Structure 1
Amino acid sequence: MADDFMLDTDDLERRMDGAHASLRVEFGTLRTGRGSASMVDPIMVDAYGAMTPLNQVATVNVPEPRMVTINVWDKGLVGKVEKAIRESGLGINPQLNGTIIMLPIPELNEERRRSLTKVAGQYAESAKVSIRNIRRDGMDQIKKAKNDGISEDDQKFWEGAVQELTDKAITAIDKALEVKQQEIMQV
């Protein structure tokens, strides 16, 4: 009987939290005028015949707020790492010092700050789409249960629960976006 229908709201909430966590990772890759080890995470290096994440061929450190250092473990890869950084679109000019590559973080100009806030907005919108897809999955489960015979009251209860989770997740994304945009625009 469908009266014992229980929607797994914990699963929906976990999936929504995953979308938010993914957004935080994407926000970490945006340059804000101060150095961060996560800003080089998406960079892939052609190492030993395969594309390898930068953090698997070097140690990334942030010794001061406006400097990122990359200590390449294999001297033969220094040139390839430097090339990967130049081609990454970070807008940073690497400086070589033996096996250490220094990335001085320049001040962001107003135009670059505005474009980065737009990118952050796109990341947030993508996360919201993920949240809405999870909401749709939950609502589809409720509709299926309604066809199987749950009461209209139960249907309304579960729809309200899913909507409440969705609203909470969207609000969290909006707050994260606002914080990131303020961080980017801060001079």
Structure 2
Amino acid sequence: MADDFELDTDDLERRMDGAMSALRTEFASLRTGRASASMLEPVMVEAYGQKTPINQVGTVNVPEPRMVTVNVWDKSMVGAVEKAIRESGLGINPQLNGTIIMLPIPELNEERRKELTRVAAQYAENARVAVRNIRRDGMDQVKKAKADGLSEDDQKFWENEVQDMTDRFIKSVDDALDTKQSEIMQV
């Protein structure tokens, strides 16, 4: 009856990829002491009655290693963009120059670097938990198929497939964390 069982590994892989993508986005928002346009991605500006990503109200540039600039297109939005950056929790003090907002990136002190590595580790742990939850869903599907008559050999095969995929994604989370932590600790 369950001889034709086929686990949707593409779906599991797509969901695990989603967890990795979310991790990369969270890592991009962590400040490393180097200027990066992606550090402003989570900043939302109150524009025209709704929350809007900062890159939809101006051009974000990195003219030098310790400076990010935002060239605001609409002059009336400069104050809102500046306020959004101040309240974003990035710890950056914006400086106005007409419609251009300059964001000098200060050096990170040792204490702040260690704190950021702990935050990065927490983000990575959340991604690992998400991957393990997806693994559990896959294993539950295999157990259900076993109850419906799936052979023991097929059950072992599918469980190994799910476990191998999980191990691969957990390793990529760990590698991304190591890279990010060394980036943060680099002086």
Q: Which bracket does the TM-score occupy, shorter chain normalised?
A: over 0.9
1 CA distance for matches of 2:62 and 2:142? 49
Q: What letter is aligned with 1:147?
A: A
Q: What letter is aligned with 1:18?
A: G
**Aligned counterpart, 1:131:** 131
Gapped runs of 5+ residues in structure 1? none
2 CA distance for matches of 1:120 and 1:149? 44
**Aligned counterpart, 2:117:** 117
**1:62 pairs with 2:37:** no
2 CA distance for matches of 1:95 and 1:87? 14
2 CA distance for matches of 1:47 and 1:11? 37
**Aligned counterpart, 1:168:** 168
**Aligned counterpart, 2:186:** 186
Q: What letter is aligned with 1:135?
A: R
2 CA distance for matches of 1:80 and 1:15? 36
Q: Report the alpha carbon displacement of residue 16 of structure 1 after superposing the two structures with TM.
A: 1.1
**Mapping of 1:1-187 within 5 angstroms?**
1-187=1-187
2 CA distance for matches of 1:165 and 1:50? 40
Provide the secondary structure at the position in 1 that maps to 2:3. helix
CA offset digits 1:10-37 (Å, max 9, x no partner): 2212221221122111111110011111
CA RMSD of aligned residues (A): 0.9
Provide the secondary structure at the position in 1 that maps to 2:177. helix
Gapped runs of 5+ residues in structure 2? none
TM-score (norm 1): 0.97
Percent identical residues: 76
Q: What letter is aligned with 1:112?
A: R
